[in-house]
Structure 1
Amino acid sequence: MDRSIPMLLVGLIFGGGLGFTVAAANGITLDGHDHATDHGHTTGASASHDHETPLDLPAAPDAPTLSVTATPDPSSGWNLHIETGNFAFSPEHASTDHVPGEGHAHVYIDGVKLGRFYGPWLHLPAQEPGTEVRVTLNANDHRPLAVGGERIEETLLLD
């Protein structure tokens, strides 16, 4: 008699119960993270979680730079190339304190945030002609970066 299905069910029940018990013992909850209200958490002495107020950097030769291009993908959609200068993508430091010269990019399609990106290439699915793509450079703590009061961002329209 094959007992693999009953053993699988027993393993799932006990494994799930053990997982929930360990999570509860460590204070882990299933309520997620509410960006609308939970901006007071910190990961370091001065970390903030402000997605709007720019971190203004001095206009200097080592200030971060951004250039964005979109080329049609031969099969479908667009290939977005995010080129930076004096800036390194740092997924390992996401949501931690600001470190000069590192962070990530935010990509917006017609004003709606597509996500956070940690590298120079991104494939976009097919878009309607005239679709606006905006890319911002952001600090590890998610604040948009600016140089001399001007946000480091590029906007382009897809043909």
Structure 2
Amino acid sequence: MSWTRRTVIGLVVCALLPLGAQGCGTGEAHGGAGAVSPSPVGKVLDDTDETGRHLREVAKKDAPEVGVEVTPDAGGGWDVRLTLRHFRFSPAGARWKADPGHGLAYLFVDGRPVTRLRAPEYHLAPRLVPHGTHHVTARLYADDGTVWAVHGKPVESTADITASGVETSGR
């Protein structure tokens, strides 16, 4: 059967390729846990953020920057807008590699991950921001899953917002 021969040949090719070749293995080359690209960009630190992602230290002069602005919308939700410097969003399916100033942003509300962003705007649904004061944080990541960092701190920005709800009188 020809399909069996192709399968065996494919396995042999994967076994002969150097370790870490994309397309072979268990999926770490495509974003699996623990995989960090051997990119010459910055230095991967032993430190991690609270999600377990390693920090990728870069010099301040070369570091990406992010600012976050959150404004209420008419429907009760929140509009999030990121301002970026020295950073470009990579398209979905980008190579699992750290390229200078490229990647994606993660959005957190009160430390809980909400979404991954590949564009500078996002709408937060009202259910994600209940009554009270909250912290909305945008953090920048390289395409290999490492966190861009300067002086051992993640490149991120936080906006504090207060959601006020309609109080019921109990009558």
Instruction: Work out whether the TM-score is over 0.5.
Output: yes
Report deviation, 1:90. Answer: 0.4
Aligned twin of 1:66: 66
Q: Please, what is the CA RMSD of the aligned residues?
A: 2.8
The question of 1:118 aligning with 2:112 is answered no
More strand by share: 2
* 1:67 match: secondary structure: strand
CA deviation map 1:79-112 (0-9, x unaligned): 0001110100002454611000100000112221
Aligned twin of 1:54: 55
CA deviation map 1:24-51 (0-9, x unaligned): x89xxxxxx8xxxx52557x7x379x84
Aligned equivalents of 1:110 and 1:101: distance in 2? 26
Aligned equivalents of 1:72 and 1:124: distance in 2? 9
**What fraction of aligned residue pairs are identical, expressed as a percent?**
28
> Which amino acid in the other structure matches residue 39 of structure 1?
A
Aligned equivalents of 2:77 and 2:146: distance in 1? 29
Tell me if structure 2 keeps the 8 A contact 1:93–1:140. Answer: no
Aligned twin of 2:16: none
> Which amino acid in the other structure matches residue 86 of structure 1?
H
Aligned twin of 2:108: 108
The question of 1:135 aligning with 2:138 is answered yes
The question of 1:145 aligning with 2:139 is answered no
* 1:157 match: secondary structure: strand
Report deviation, 1:150. Answer: 2.6
Report deviation, 1:116. Answer: 1.0
TM-score, with structure 1 as normaliser = 0.66
Structure 1 unmatched ranges of 5 or more: 1-24, 27-32
Aligned length: 123
My pick for the range that moved more, 125-134 or 135-144, is 125-134
TM-score, with structure 2 as normaliser = 0.62
